[in-house]
């Protein structure tokens, strides 16, 4: 019976792995790039010139530009400066630098960070369950009495120990 289960695990493991190759590549790239989310790495800088209503206060300007934690840094006459930009309070003319992740990378990261409010959160659940299946089924890829299986167990133990250490650093 165990040999039959092992055969089925290997077959499902193989074809599920082939099926999920695209989404695994997306999660790999987005996971790596998310490490840099608080830096300007991968961000494209564009200069934005826009005309806003004159005489906006700090709070109104931040809301108009959709900039979180918006604050004026300095002012010179009617020109108010903020991080990466300026606003002319008399004319409403605004210029600033906008830093954004490229479209495709933003989509990948959005998929990676999906919550239950996202219409595709089920994909994350399916992917997580599939990864857990890969973890479990990998122990049925080789017969228990082979050297490859024994070495695999040692590598698995080393990986688990490393993971526990990393969790508590």
Quick check: 85 and 96 in contact, CB under 8 A? yes
What is the C-alpha R_g of the chain?
26
pLDDT of amino acid 79: 94
CA gap 160, 131 in Å, rounded? 16
Q: 111-164, pLDDT tens digit by residue?
A: 999 999 999 899 999 999 999 999 999 888 888 899 999 999 999 999 999 999
CA distances from 92 to 50, 61, 97, 112, 130 (A): 8, 10, 17, 38, 53
Terminal alpha carbon distance of the chain: 43
pLDDT of amino acid 2: 54
Q: 13-43, pLDDT tens digit by residue?
A: 999 999 999 999 999 999 999 999 999 999 9
CA gap 60, 56 in Å, rounded? 6
pLDDT of amino acid 20: 93
pLDDT of amino acid 3: 62
The pTM assigned to this predicted structure is 0.74
Of the candidates 58, 61, 46, 60, the residue with the CA atom closest to the CA atom of residue 94: 61
């Amino acid at each position: 019976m165990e040999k039959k289960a092992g055969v089925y695990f290997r077959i499902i493991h193989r074809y599920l792995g082939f099926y999920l190759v695209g989404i695994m590549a997306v999660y790999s790239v987005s996971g790596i790039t998310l490490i840099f989310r608080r830096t300007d790495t991968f961000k494209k800088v564009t200069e934005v010139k826009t005309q806003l209503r004159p005489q906006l206060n700090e709070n109104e300007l931040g809301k108009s530009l959709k900039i979180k934690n918006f604050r004026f840094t300095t002012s010179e006459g009617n020109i108010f400066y903020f991080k990466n930009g300026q606003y002319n309070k008399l004319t409403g003319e605004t210029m600033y630098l906008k830093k954004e992740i490229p479209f495709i990378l933003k989509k990948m990261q959005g998929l990676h960070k999906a919550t239950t409010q996202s219409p595709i959160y089920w994909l994350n659940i399916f992917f997580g369950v599939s990864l857990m299946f890969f973890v479990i089924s990998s122990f049925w890829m080789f017969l228990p009495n082979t050297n490859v299986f024994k070495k695999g167990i040692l590598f698995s133990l080393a990986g688990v120990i490393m993971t526990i250490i990393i969790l508590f650093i």
